[in-house]
Amino acid sequence: MKIAFIVFDGITFLDFIGFYDVVNRLHLFDKTKGTTWDICALAPEVKDEQGLTIRAGKIKPDLSEYDLLFVPGGLGTRKLRFQTEFVDWLRQGLEVKHVVSVCTGSLLLGAAGFLENRKATTHPKAYELLEPYCKEVVRTRIVKDGHVVTGGGVSASIDIGLYVVEMLAGREAADQVKEQIDYPYERIGMIEV
């Protein structure tokens, strides 16, 4: 399993790090041993809404070479969804086996065509922005429609991370991660289409 974590200027880092901290543990479990990941961007460094900077490990890699594509959200998604270079790059992942977003990352998936004829969710304050991109906006915490999983607002990144660990490595693995991070998550607001 090879994961691409997409980062960009204007990201909300909790969207990214909540999912990352949970999912990077996949390599600990038998079913997902050997899992690797790259932090991918169009530029060597990206800044969040407050100016915190991180370095990307891969600059504009071919996203079709990954097994799981993760797209977080943030205020930067509002403009980024109209930037051709970014949207075209994201489209490389249309055939990736597992596609996941949290918060307004779903706007980027929508702009790139991942959500066509699918149900999806996003941050509750962005439901209207998501409507043009999908079949139906579902006002809930997590929506899985086919190979695409979308999550709600910022803290949903941890929930969706646990969902993905369970999906790929099993319930026992997800329970172990919950214990490791001392997280009292119980599956709520989950819709599988």
Tokens representing residue 47 in the block: 């800044």
% of the chain at pLDDT higher than 90 = 94
Long-range pairs, 179-188, Cβ under 8 A, ≥24 = 180/25, 181/21, 181/22, 183/158, 185/158, 185/159, 187/163, 188/141
Q: Could you tell me the pLDDT band of residue 22, with boundaries at 50, 70 and 90?
A: very high
Q: Which candidate, 161, 153, 91, 99, places its Cα nearest to that of 127?
A: 153
Tokens representing residue 30 in the block: 């038998």
Residue 49: its pLDDT value, please? 85
Q: What is the mean pLDDT of residues 24-41?
A: 97
**Considering the chain, what is the average pLDDT of its residues?**
96
Residue 193: its pLDDT value, please? 80
- Give 2's contacts (C-beta < 8 A, 6+ positions apart): 35, 36, 37, 38, 65, 66, 67, 68
Catalytic residue among 7, 102, 103, 129: 103
Q: Which candidate, 70, 72, 104, 65, places its Cα nearest to that of 8?
A: 72
- Residue 96 pLDDT > 90: yes
What is this structure's pTM?
Answer: 0.95
- Residue 133 pLDDT > 90: yes
8-17 confidence digits (pLDDT tens): 999 999 999 9
**Does residue 103 carry a catalytic annotation?**
yes
Residue 186: its pLDDT value, please? 75
Domain locations along the chain: 2-192
CA distance 148 to 54: 27
Checking DSSP bridges between strand 190-192 and strand 148-151, what pairing results, if any?
unpaired
Checking DSSP bridges between strand 142-145 and strand 148-151, what pairing results, if any?
antiparallel
- Residue 82 pLDDT > 80: yes
Q: What is the DSSP string of 158-190?
A: HHHHHHHHHHHH-HHHHHHHHHHTT------SE
Residue 107: its pLDDT value, please? 98
149-191 confidence digits (pLDDT tens): 999 999 999 999 999 999 999 999 999 999 999 998 677 677 7
Q: What is the mean pLDDT of residues 84-112?
A: 98
Q: What is the mean pLDDT of residues 26-39?
A: 96
CA distance 150 to 152: 7
